[in-house]
Amino acid sequence: MAKRLVILGAGTAGTLLANQLRRRVAADELQIDVVDRDDVHVYQPGLLFVPFGLAKPGALVRSRSAQLRRGIAYHQAEIDRVALADKTVELADGTTLPYDALVVATGARLLPEETEGMLGNAWQKSVFTFYDLPGATALRDALARFDGGRLVVDIVDMPIKCPVAPIEFTFLADWYLRRRGIREKTTLTLATPLDGCFTKPVAAKHLTHLLEEKGVELEVEFAAGEVDGDGGRLVSYDGREIPFDLLVTIPLHGGQAYVERSEGLGDSLGFIPTDPATLRAHAAENLFAIGDATDLRASKAGSVAHFEGEILAENIEAFLRGKPLTARFDGHANCFVETGGGKALLIDFNDELQPVAGHFGPLPLLKESRLSHLAKLAFKPVYWHVLLPGHRIPLIGPTMPLRGKHLEDAA
C-alpha cells in the first residue's frame, strides 16, 4: 500500500518539493497531496519591479495546480488545523487528510494589523507595501502620482521574506526618481530595526556604501510602533519620529493562522521549530518544514527554499523507506541585489560564512555589475520551467561551493 505525504502550501518551496519527490518516488509507492487556499501562484521576485513599471502584475501569476506534475493531488482549501497525535490535517471544507509524513511549506504571512495605525485611513493612500501583488500594484500608481517630498522605506521587524528587498526597493526608488527628474525634490529614508542596513556585516559594509553614494538617509535601530497616517509620522517605540509623505512598509511577518490553532506545531510567532540540517521539525519524527515557514536563521529567501528542497526531498525519501536522514543543509543562500541603473550585486553565504568575495561562476560577488542584473532578469523563465518542475539547475547545488571565492573582511 502506498504511503501518503501531505504538503501544506503550494508556493515555491511546496511546489518544487512535491515535484522533486514525484520524480524520485513512483506513485504506487507514494501518494502526494498538496494543499493551498487558492490557485494563484505569484512569482514573488517580480513584486519588486511592479511599483516602478518594470513588471506587469498579470505576468507574475500562474495557476498553482498547473505547476504540479501529473500524479500529485491538489486540494484548494483553507487549512483548519493539524492534529499531530492523529496524523491528520483538517481542512476548512470538512475534508480530513491522513498522512504518513507531513511537510509545512505555507510560508510567512504579513501582519500589518499588528502595528498600531498601519491599517488606518492612510492605508493604500500614503501607506503601502510591495510585499504582495495588490500592494505592489497600488504602490505603482501612487509612485506615478508622487511629485516629491518625504519617501520612507521601513522594516517593522525581522525576520522578513527576502531581507534584501527593502534595500533593493530603496535603490530602485532612487533610480526611478532621478529618471523622473524629482530626486532633488525628495528625501529618501531607509529605516530598519537592525544596527545596519543588512543582517550580515560584510553585506552591510557594501550596501551602506551604496546608500551613501545615492544620498539615502539610513535610520538604524528604529523599531516602528505606530503609523500616524493622518499626521504623516512614523513613530518608534522609543519616541523617535520620521515624517513621511509616502511610506513603504515591510510589515511584521508571522506564521500562518492554522499553526496557532494546531497544538504543538509552531512557536509563539507561528513558525515551525526545525532542525537546521535535516529540516525535520522538532514536534514529530514524521513532520518536516521548508522555506519561510521554518524558524531557521537561514534567510527567508527563494534560493534557500530551492536549496532546502533538494536536501528535504532526499531526507523524506529516506524517512519513508525507514533509513537515516543523511542529507544536510548548510544554510546556503545567494541573492541578487538590484542597485538601480541596470546593475545588481550578488551575495553568496551560508550559516557559517559571511558573504564571500570572488565569483559565483561568471558573476562577480559583492560588486555591482550589468551581468548580475541580467542574470536576475533571466531567472524568471528558469523559475517557471526548471526550478518549480523539480529539475536541477546545472552547476547550482544545495551546498555552498567555495571554489573561486574568498572571505571578505567586514571591517
Q: What is the separation, in whole angstroms, between the first and last Cα of the chain?
A: 59
- The reply to whether 65 and 145 lie within a common domain is no
* Residue 103, in any domain of the structure: yes
DSSP letter string over 54-112?
A: SS-GGGGEE-TGGGSPTTEEEEES-EEEEETTTTEEEETTS-EEE-SEEEE----EE-G
* Residue 325 forms part of a structural domain: no
Q: What pLDDT is recorded for position 208?
A: 80
| DSSP annotation string for 209-236 | HHHHHTT-EEE-S--EEEEETTTTEEEE
Element (H, E) at 8: strand 3-8
3-state class (DSSP) for residue 340: strand
Burial 202-212 (b: 16+ CB within 10 A, else e): bbbbbbbebbe
Report the chain's mean pLDDT, rounded to a whole number: 94
Output the pLDDT for position 409: 64
Global confidence as pTM: 0.95
Paired with 189 in beta bridges are 152, 217
pLDDT in tens, 95-132: 999 999 999 999 999 999 999 999 999 999 999 999 99
Kindly state the cell numbers that stand for 359: 565569483
Residues 86 and 215 in one domain: no
Does 175 lie in the same domain as 120?
yes
Question: Do 172 and 343 touch, CB atoms closer than 8 A?
Answer: no
Reduced to 3 states, what is the DSSP secondary structure of residue 120? coil
Domain containing residue 362: 334-407
- Domain end among 320, 343, 363: 320
Domain end point (choices 198, 221, 252): 252
Q: Among candidates 5, 64, 3, 68, which has minimal Cα distance to 32?
A: 5
**Residues 309-344 pLDDT 10s:** 999 999 999 999 999 999 999 999 989 999 999 999
Same-domain check for residues 79 and 106: yes
Spatial separation of the C-alpha atoms in residues 89 and 182, rounded to whole Å: 53
* 105 lies in the same domain as 129: no
Residues 262, 187, single domain; the answer is no
Q: Are residues 243 and 117 in the same domain?
A: yes
Domain shared by 390 and 340, yes or no: yes
CA distance 175 to 196: 22
The per-residue pLDDT for 196 is 84
Q: How many domains does the chain have?
A: 3
- Confidence (pLDDT) at 408: 65
Beta-carbon-side half-sphere exposure of residue 129 (alpha carbons within 13 Å): 20
Grade residue 63 by pLDDT with cuts at 50, 70 and 90: very high
Under DSSP, the state recorded for 353 is S
Q: Is residue 140 part of a domain?
A: yes
249: exposed, middle or buried (Cβ count in 10 Å: 0-12, 13-18, 19+):
buried
Average pLDDT over residues 276-289: 98
Please indicate, yes or no, whether residues 197 and 132 belong to a single structural domain of this protein: yes
Angle in degrees, CA 186, 195, 208, rounded to 5? 50
In a domain, 124, yes or no: yes
Q: Of the candidates 343, 362, 345, which has an alpha carbon nearest to the alpha carbon of residue 404? A: 362
Domain assignment present for residue 232? The answer is yes
List the CATH number of the domain containing 86: 3.50.50.60
Shared-domain flag, residues 248 and 142: yes
Q: Rounded to an integer, what distance in angstroms lies between the CA atom of residue 247 and that of residue 219?
A: 14
Coil, strand, or helix at residue 161?
strand
Contact 286, 320 (CB under 8 A): no
Does residue 327 lie within any of the structural domains? no
Domain boundary among 224, 252, 280: 252
Nearest to 398 by CA among 334, 310, 327, 305: 310
Claim to verify: residue 12 and residue 105 sit in the same structural domain: yes
172 and 230 in a single domain? The answer is yes
pLDDT value, residue 411: 54
Lowest-pLDDT range, 15-19, 190-194, 270-274, 300-304?
A: 300-304
Position 344 in a domain: yes
Q: Among 45-49, 150-154, 164-168, 361-365, whose mean pLDDT is lowest?
A: 361-365
Examine residue 328 and state whether it is found in any structural domain, yes or no: no
Alpha helices in 232-385 (DSSP H): 257-261, 302-320, 370-382
Alpha-carbon distances, residue 124 vs 119, 137, 142, 299 (angstroms): 9, 10, 9, 28
Measured distance CA(88)–CA(91) in Å, rounded: 10
